[in-house]
Structure 1
Amino acid sequence: MSSRDTNTFSTKEIKRQEAIYELYRGEQDLIEDLQLARKAYHDPMLKLSIMTEEELAHIFGDLDAYIPLHEELLVKLTEGTGSDGTVAQIGQIVIDWLPRLNAYKNYCSNQLAAKALLDQKKQDRRVQDFLQRCLESPFSRKLDLWSFLDIPRSRLVKYPLLLREILRHTPPDHPDVTSLETAITIIQEILSDINVRKGESECQYYIDKLEFLDDKQRDPLIDKCKTLLCHGELRNKSGSRLHVFLFSELLVLTRPVTRNERSCFQVYRQPIPVRDLAMEDLQDGEIRMGGSFRGAFTNGEKAKNVFRVSSLDPSHGQTHTLHVSDVYHKQQWLNCLRTAMSQQQGAPARVQRGETIPAKSHSSVSSTTVCDEEENENCPPPVSGPKLRPQTLSKTRLDQKLQGSLKRKETGV
């Protein structure tokens, strides 16, 4: 667009065209990154026999198939560009193209397993050395392999934001207003569907990693679990670490173990159905931790951020006191438990002492420790940090005002 031409456009229209170009440029960057992931990582590792073809297929998915998908949008946007370099109407172009993004359902659903396999393969010195050399090369932009593999998901969550930015600079009487609003609804529904699929996949991934000591531990409700609400590393009263999973139907306490170089979670005692779950919010200083757990405090200092869960079923006879690292993470756990109990017990979950604050949607916990009434000093170290569901494809605000820029910010991780 020449300087003379810019004088014929209002400031609002210039901002609108900049937002449209931001969408266009982001597609170009994404295509380049997908091609780079294949040429710089996948193909060399296959050629050098650093990983098998099956392993690479599991980690990389069908990235090649998505390149034509995004090239198609570029073609449509180019065809819709006038002689003055502007796109008069973009709404219908996007409406027609967005359903193609459903192709990412399988890719996003497989990400957890793909990353787990990649992390496992990093223990191999050849893989480690190769990835380190790539990281030190200019083409990587100091991004590791997983950052490249996560770029498609990162791009998906930006579409509603980019479309809203275009809409924000579109005059109220412009024909694009209605179509852009429709496009935003379509992409939100697509992201919601992907979230559900990804959540179910994550839930099944961890269910498959549960190891039962006997058949009595295998509660039939486990097959009904479709959602993993919360999970994280735990610590019992004597200091042993556990990993707790709060599924939609069950609360499962486990010990992280390794079997034949495969990490899994050995189920501890009997899973507690959420419908039988009771929760008690313990006041700071009410519990004095004993045993080896005392080392976590100063000379047996009374614990803060503690709550207790138990089973209402007398046959279970379980009570677990949970210690959390700070008040924020404690509230996250209480909120997840409260929500699950409300859904399964048909009434608002009652906390015996104190109320929990409303749960914040799409939040995550970075460090949580919990404890259990039973003492066992031989628990292996934890394998991962605690997380809350849902946490993928969440809607966030734009970090900064989207404007026409040639900087690589659309696909950066």
Structure 2
Amino acid sequence: MIKRIIELNFYLAPFIQTSSLPLSPAGSRMEVQCPVSSADIQSEDDQGGEMECEENPLNWQSLVSRGVLASLTPQEIKRQEVINELFYTERAHLRMLKVLDCVFQQRLNRDSILPPEDIKHIFINLEEIIQLHGNVITSLIIPCTLQREECPVFEKIKRAVGTFCSNQPSALELIKSRQKKDQRFTLFMQEAESNRLCRRLQLKDIIPVEMQRVTKYPLLLDNIAKYTGINSTEREKVKKAAECCKKILNHVNQAVKEAENKQVHTVESL
């Protein structure tokens, strides 16, 4: 049984219910429910729970029997720790994307605080990004293990993340500009950013989280591969996923660079 646990492909862990070792503490899907109102958001934050996931990550060893834990090698334990880190940091990231949507985008739309085109400019394809991270294992990691760069899924991931991240410079500039001349928007920002769910982060700090997260995948996957059996097929799949994520990161970096250069050129031409 222990051998079966360790050799399970880590990306299948969220869907395996019979294993004694929960590689995915978050369950079958790493979802964070999106409150529909400011009052609901505040109430949910007061209750703690999954909103505290990044501050109090679950210790996977506490869910494993002493017998199973004693049978694991130091390398296997380290591997589980990195897998645990992948899932919990992903859940924390998804939570922050939901905050971006619920605390900012939805309220801006509902209260017509900004023109629809400005809201779209700031948040671009946020819904698509949330969907991508809602089940990152099947939407990102598994396609990457196939390493088929011509496949539609791979191209969709590159396009989605590249679009969101490359939009960041102009989105931040628009926010800055609006705060200077739109008192209603400024008051909204003060109220929204004081929400406990933002955890003292401003909108300009939250928008870049997607770019920051994309840089983490290759590092985490490389670490998982490092502590996976040298001759195992799973190690090769994890290494493929890491390489694929590096290519996605390179694509995103290039898209961001081009967007920044375009923005500088636009300013200089004024």
Structure (1 or 2) with the greater strand fraction: 1
Pairing 1:185–2:243 present: yes
AA at the equivalent of 1:110: N
Look up the match of 2:268: 210
Tell which structure's C-alpha radius of gyration is larger: 1
Q: 1:30 aligns with which of 93, 106, 123?
A: 93
Write out per-residue CA displacement over residues 121-158 of structure 1, whole angstroms, 9 at most, x where no aligned residue: 11122222222222222111111112221111110011
State the Cα distance separating 1:93 from its structure 2 match: 6.5
Look up the match of 2:121: 58
Distance 1:92 1:44 in 2: 35
Q: Is the 8 A contact 2:144 2:245 kept in 1?
A: no
1:11-410 matches, cutoff 5 A: 11-74=74-137, 94-96=144-146, 99=154, 100-102=156-158, 103-123=160-180, 124-211=182-269, 264=270
Instruction: Please give the root-mean-square deviation of Cα atoms over the aligned residues, in Å.
Output: 2.3
Q: Is the 8 A contact 2:144 2:244 kept in 1?
A: no
AA at the equivalent of 2:111: L
Q: Is the 8 A contact 1:19 1:162 kept in 2?
A: yes
Distance 1:51 1:153 in 2: 25
- The change in CA–CA distance for 1:175 and 1:156 in structure 2 (over 3 A counts) is same
Percent identity over the alignment is: 26
Distance 2:118 2:212 in 1: 23
Write out per-residue CA displacement over residues 79-128 of structure 1, whole angstroms, 9 at most, x where no aligned residue: xxxxxxxxxxxx85752498353121111221111111011111122222
AA at the equivalent of 1:53: P
- The change in CA–CA distance for 1:113 and 1:39 in structure 2 (over 3 A counts) is same
Question: Which stretches in structure 1 are left out of the alignment for 5+ residues?
Answer: 78-90, 212-263, 265-413
AA at the equivalent of 2:161: Y
AA at the equivalent of 2:82: A
Query: SS where residue 240 of structure 2 aligns?
Result: helix
Distance 2:112 2:143 in 1: 43
Structure (1 or 2) with the greater helix fraction: 2
AA at the equivalent of 1:210: E
Look up the match of 2:33: none
Aligned pair count reads 199
With the length of structure 2 as denominator, give the TM-score of the two structures.
0.67
The structure with higher relative contact order (CA 8 Å, sep 6+) is 2
Q: 1:2 aligns with which of 65, 69, 74?
A: 65
Question: Which stretches in structure 2 are left out of the alignment for 5+ residues?
Answer: 1-63, 148-152
State the Cα distance separating 1:74 from its structure 2 match: 4.5
